[in-house]
Structure 1
Amino acid sequence: MKFDAENDTGALGKLPPAVKLLALFVLSILLFATTSPSVLIPAASLVLIGSLLLCPSAVWQWLRSWVLLFTIAVVVGWTAYAQSLDAALVTFTRLTTLTLLATLVTTTTRIAEFIDTITTLARPLERIGIGNARDIGLAIGLAIRFIPEVQARYQSIADAHRARGLKMRLSTVIGPMVIGTLQNAEEIANAIDARGIRATKTHDQT
C-alpha cells in the first residue's frame, strides 16, 4: 500500500482525512453487520468499481500487496475447511472489500495528514490518561508507513536475485531485509530527533 497521495488522487485526495477515516469506520461496521452474500457481493462490486473510477492507483497498490492478499487467502481457505464454503465467501468478500477501502484511504492521504488526524482523534484518550495522543498518531502512521517499505524492499531483493539468476532462499533474503529495515528505521528516528519530537516530549514531561 502506497502511503503518499501523489498527483492524481482526484476528489478523494481533497477530502479531509477525518472524513475518509470516518467513512472507513462506518463502512467497516456495515460490512460486518450482515452475513448475506447477496448484500456483500454487490457492495464489494460497488467498492471495486468506485475505486477504479476514482483512484485506479489504489487498486493497483492493493493488487501489489501480495502479503496482504496471501493472508486473506489463508484465512479464507481455513474458513472453508473449518466451517463452510458460504462462510468462506462471506469472509473473502468482507476482507477484500475492507482492505481495498483501507488502501483507497491510505493512497489518497498524505502521511503527515494521517498522523495529524490520528493525533487529534486520540486527544480524548490522552485526557483520561490512556496514552499520549502524539505518540499514538506517530506510532500508527509509522506502522502503516513501514508496510509498503518492507514490501518494496522485498521486491527489490527479489529483482536482484532474478537479475543474478539466483533462487530465492530464506537465508539470502532475511539478512538484507532485516538490515535494510533497520537502516530505514534509524533514518526515521534521526528525522524525528531532527524535528525535536522526542525532545519536546521529554521537556513537556519535566
Structure 2
Amino acid sequence: MTGFVDLYTEGNTFLHRVDPRVKITAVILLSILAFVLSSLEALAVLLAFIMVLVVLSRTPLAKTAFSFKFVFRLMLLIVILWPLFDRSGEPVIASFGPLVLTEPALLRGVTSATRIGCLATVWYILMFTTQQRDIVRALVKLGIRFDFGLTLAISLRFFPTFSATIGSIMDAQRARGLEFGKGGPLKRTRNYVAVLIPAIVSAMRTADGLSWALQSRAYGARLDRTYLRDFKMKWSDYLALAAVVLVLVLPLTAKYVFGMEL
C-alpha cells in the first residue's frame, strides 16, 4: 500500500532529465487536449502517444501494472455504467427489459473511458519520472504559493505512511479474529469502525508532531527562501516544451480552423 503515491523510479532517461516545470506544463497541456478531443479515434491516438512516453520512462513493469490497475478498473466501470444511464441513439445492440444498450451510448462510454485513461496516464508519467520535492519546487517556481507547495509535499509524503498504518491496523485486527470480508453490509461497516478510530487517532498524533516540527524549524519566520539546487532551463528543455506545444496546437488547428472532427 505504501507504493500508491511514491511512484518515482530512479533513472537517467530523457523524461527524467527534463526540467520539472516543463513536465508539469506538458501534463497540463496534454490534459487540456484530452478534454478538447471528442472522437474516439483521436483520443486513442493520444493515449497511444502517452503510453509510448510511459515505455520511454523505463518504469518497472510491476510498478506500472500496480499503478494502472486502478485506472483500468475505473475505465471498465465507466464502459459498463455509461450505457445504463444513456439509452439514446440507434441501432439498439441489446435489450434487457427496461435496460437498452445502444451503439452510440456504448461508443460514448468507451470514449469517456479513453479520456480518463489519457488524463491518468499523463499524470502517472510525471509521478514516475519526477521526485516529489522537485514537483513541489517546480510548482513554487511556476508561481504557486510555497504554503500550497508545502501542503502538497506533506500530503505526498504522509499518504503512504498513513496507508501503511491502516494496513498494520487491519492486520492487527485480523490477528484478533476480526473478519472484514464476512457478514452483511451493516456488519462489515461495523468491522471497519475498529480500523477507523485507531487510524484517526494515529493521524492526529502525526499532525501534532508535524506542527511541532514546523514550529521548531521557525516555519514562516522569513518570506524569502533559498534552495540547495535550483532549476535552470537547457536547450533540451525548450525543445521538449516546443514539442508539447506543437502536439497541442496541431489538433486544435485541425479541429477549429479546418473543421476536422477530432
What per-residue deviation string (whole Å, max 9, x for no partner) do you get for residues 94-135 of structure 1? 222212221221232222222211122226xxxxxxxxx111
Structure 1: distance between partners of 2:118 and 2:5: 17
Which moves more between the two structures, 45-54 or 14-23?
Answer: 45-54
Give 2:155's match in structure 1, choosing from 111, 132, 143.
143
Flag the 1:114–1:45 CA change in 2: closer, same or farther, 3 A. same
Preserved CA contact (<8 Å) 1:5 1:109: yes
Structure 2: distance between partners of 1:69 and 1:6: 21
Shift of 1:16: 1.4
What per-residue deviation string (whole Å, max 9, x for no partner) do you get for residues 123-151 of structure 1? 6xxxxxxxxx1112222333344444443
Residue 38, structure 1, aligned to residue 41, structure 2: yes
- Structure ID, larger Rg: 2
Preserved CA contact (<8 Å) 1:122 1:137: no
Match of 1:167 in 2: 179
Paired residue secondary structure (2:36):
coil
Preserved CA contact (<8 Å) 2:13 2:57: yes
Which moves more between the two structures, 137-146 or 158-167?
Answer: 158-167
> What amino acid is the match of 1:140?
L
Structure 2: distance between partners of 1:72 and 1:177: 30
Please list every run of 5 or more consecutive structure 2 residues that lacks an aligned counterpart in the other structure: 87-104, 181-190, 224-262
Greater helix percent: which structure?
1
Match of 1:103 in 2: 124
Residue 192, structure 1, aligned to residue 220, structure 2: no
Structure 2: distance between partners of 1:55 and 1:100: 14
Residue 59, structure 1, aligned to residue 64, structure 2: yes
Match of 2:184 in 1: none
Match of 2:146 in 1: 134
- So what's the TM-score if we normalise by structure 1? 0.72
Preserved CA contact (<8 Å) 1:40 1:94: yes
Flag the 1:40–1:154 CA change in 2: closer, same or farther, 3 A. farther
Structure 2: distance between partners of 1:161 and 1:11: 46
Aligned residue-pair number: 190
Preserved CA contact (<8 Å) 2:75 2:114: no
Shift of 1:41: 2.2
> What amino acid is the match of 2:36?
A
Paired residue secondary structure (2:37):
coil
Match of 2:27 in 1: 24
Residue 120, structure 1, aligned to residue 144, structure 2: no
- So what's the TM-score if we normalise by structure 2? 0.59
Residue 8, structure 1, aligned to residue 11, structure 2: yes
Structure 2: distance between partners of 1:110 and 1:196: 25
Preserved CA contact (<8 Å) 1:61 1:103: no
Preserved CA contact (<8 Å) 1:52 1:59: no
Percent identity over the alignment is 23
Preserved CA contact (<8 Å) 1:55 1:104: no
Preserved CA contact (<8 Å) 1:157 1:173: yes
Paired residue secondary structure (2:222):
helix
> What amino acid is the match of 2:85?
A
Structure 2: distance between partners of 1:199 and 1:180: 29
Preserved CA contact (<8 Å) 2:59 2:128: no
Shift of 1:189: 2.9
Structure 1: distance between partners of 2:169 and 2:77: 24
Match of 2:114 in 1: 93
